[in-house]
């Protein structure tokens, strides 16, 4: 009995020893685990020092992404971009390099002279023949899609605008500009030489294209010019889509909404055309980004121009009814009671529809050159 108790006591002591040993080992491992976790945490928080090759690859990727972003920005409200690209090609210079060089030249010279003087000085670094070719390339590219004066002086202003310098003028000159553009846009509703489209009808004496009445304040002139560029583009797209009539067209407000580098001008319109022409016009607006102009169609509703059922009830005979001819040698058919509507071909009513459309015209303005004078 005592032997059994002695053996049991010895086993208990041995087990207790192993428990203590295991416990001490676990505490040691736990302490080591905490230390290792702290090391890993510090390593995660530390910035790794990239190798030169990795750094160059990172910078290259960043430059590529930035260029993609810049290209996307140039889609928003840059209607002169195609003309600027033609201008740059004729000068044998990269488009982005041209933008950069012009911005640098303007920043250096803006305190020394007028915008026109800065531009002429900037162009001196190019060959005279290249300059002539570039100006002609710009003019030929822009001419089909503008009613602006394309004389030499205004061409320079349009080129500078295409390069990111917002166009401006005195309040007196802007008042005259508004009057002239109202007339030019009204004339644009008529088919120009080579155009195969009907004239677009507008309400009489509506002053549809008068963006501002009276003499505008200087701070609004740049916006007024942007509105006219929008109207010019809208009319051209309506003509391309064979829209028949503009019942109403107008901005919701002059100033628009600006935020995060973008300016949004909102317009509402009511137009008349066939279902196909209305559909074509909406598709034209949605595809405008291909010409560096972005429209967002916010609201769209259509309705029949006239009541078709009413047209059917008041049917018009296409031709006068006549009795069938009698074949020689045969008796004429017995005369029946005539039905006044029998044989009258019905001509259906108009298939035109009225469309109410609300659009946003979005312009990226964060890259515009800020003027201090």
Ramachandran bin of 336, using left for φ above 0, alpha for ψ from -120 to 50, beta for the remaining angles = beta
> Among 295, 243, 291, which residue's Cα sits nearest to residue 266?
295
pLDDT of residue 39: 63
Strands 245-251 and 257-259, bridge-based pairing: unpaired
User: 207 versus 140: which is more confidently predicted?
Assistant: 140
DSSP class per residue in 138-187: HHHHHGGG--S--SHHHHHHHHHHHTT------HHHHHHHHHHHHHHHHH
pLDDT band at 217 (very low <50, low <70, confident <90, very high): very high
DSSP string covering 130-150: HHHHHHHHHHHHHGGG--S--
How many CA atoms, within 13 angstroms, populate the side-chain half-sphere of residue 23? 6
Which pLDDT band, with edges at 50, 70 and 90, does 344 fall under? very low
CA dihedral 77, 78, 80, 84 (to 10 degrees): 180
Q: What is the mean pLDDT of residues 336-360?
A: 67
Residue 353 φ then ψ, to 5° = -130, 160
Instruction: Please report which confidence band the pLDDT of residue 66 belongs to, taking 50, 70 and 90 as the band edges.
Output: low
Distance, in Å, from the CA atom of 95 to the CA atom of 89, rounded to the nearest integer, reads: 8
- Give the model's pLDDT for residue 207: 78
Averaged pLDDT for residues 332-352: 52
**pLDDT tens-digit profile of 249-265?**
999 999 999 999 999 99
**Whether the Cβ atoms of residue 131 and residue 172 lie closer than 8 Å to each other:** no
Q: Which residues, in sequence order, are CB contacts of 103 under 8 Å at separation 6+?
A: 163, 164, 369
- Domain spanning 173-318+345-373, CATH architecture: 2-Layer Sandwich (3.30)
Per-residue pLDDT reduced to its tens digit, 95-117: 999 999 999 999 998 887 889 99
Q: Count CB-CB contacts under 10 A for residue 310.
A: 9
Rounded to an integer, what distance in angstroms lies between the CA atom of residue 124 and that of residue 128?
8
Report residue 210 as tokens: 């008068």
Quote the pLDDT of residue 16: 47
91 φ, ψ to 5°? -80, -5
Closest CA to 119 of 78, 65, 156, 173: 156
Q: pTM value? A: 0.73
The 10 Å Cβ neighbour count of residue 304 is 13
| Segments making up each domain of the chain, as ranges | 55-165, 173-318+345-373
Alpha carbons within 13 angstroms on the beta-carbon side of residue 236 total 16
């Amino acid at each position: 009995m005592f032997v059994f108790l002695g053996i049991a006591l010895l086993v208990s002591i041995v087990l207790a020893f192993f428990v203590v040993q295991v416990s001490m080992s676990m505490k040691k491992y736990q302490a080591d685990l905490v230390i290792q976790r702290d090391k890993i945490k510090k390593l995660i928080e530390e910035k790794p020092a990239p190798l030169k090759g990795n750094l160059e690859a990172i910078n290259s990727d960043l430059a590529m992404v930035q260029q993609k972003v810049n290209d996307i920005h140039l889609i928003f409200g840059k209607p002169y971009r195609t003309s600027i690209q033609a201008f740059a090609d004729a000068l044998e210079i990269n488009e982005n390099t041209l933008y950069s060089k012009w911005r640098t030249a303007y920043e250096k010279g803006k305190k020394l002279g007028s915008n026109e003087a800065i531009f002429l000085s900037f162009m001196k670094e190019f060959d005279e023949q290249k300059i002539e070719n570039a100006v002609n390339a710009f003019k030929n590219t822009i001419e089909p899609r503008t009613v602006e004066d394309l004389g030499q002086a205004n061409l320079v202003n349009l080129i500078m605008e295409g390069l990111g310098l917002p166009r401006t003028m005195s309040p007196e000159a802007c008042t005259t500009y508004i009057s002239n553009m109202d007339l030019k846009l009204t004339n644009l509703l008529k088919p120009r030489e080579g155009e195969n489209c009907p004239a677009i009808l507008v309400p009489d004496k509506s002053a549809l294209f008068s963006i501002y009445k009276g003499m505008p304040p200087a701070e609004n002139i740049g916006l007024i010019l942007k509105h006219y560029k929008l109207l010019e583009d809208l009319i051209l797209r309506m003509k391309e889509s064979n829209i028949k009539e503009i019942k109403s067209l107008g901005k919701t407000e002059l100033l628009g909404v600006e935020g995060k580098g973008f300016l949004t001008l909102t317009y509402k319109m009511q137009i008349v055309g066939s279902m196909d022409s209305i559909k074509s016009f909406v598709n034209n607006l949605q595809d405008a980004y291909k010409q560096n102009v972005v429209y967002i169609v916010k609201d769209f509703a259509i309705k029949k121009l006239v009541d078709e059922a009413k047209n059917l009830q008041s049917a018009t005979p296409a031709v006068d009814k006549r009795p069938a001819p009698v074949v020689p040698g045969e008796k004429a058919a017995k005369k029946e009671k005539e039905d006044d509507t029998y044989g009258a071909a019905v001509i259906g009513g108009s298939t035109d529809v009225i469309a109410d459309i609300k659009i946003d015209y979005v312009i990226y303005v964060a890259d515009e050159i800020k003027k201090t004078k």
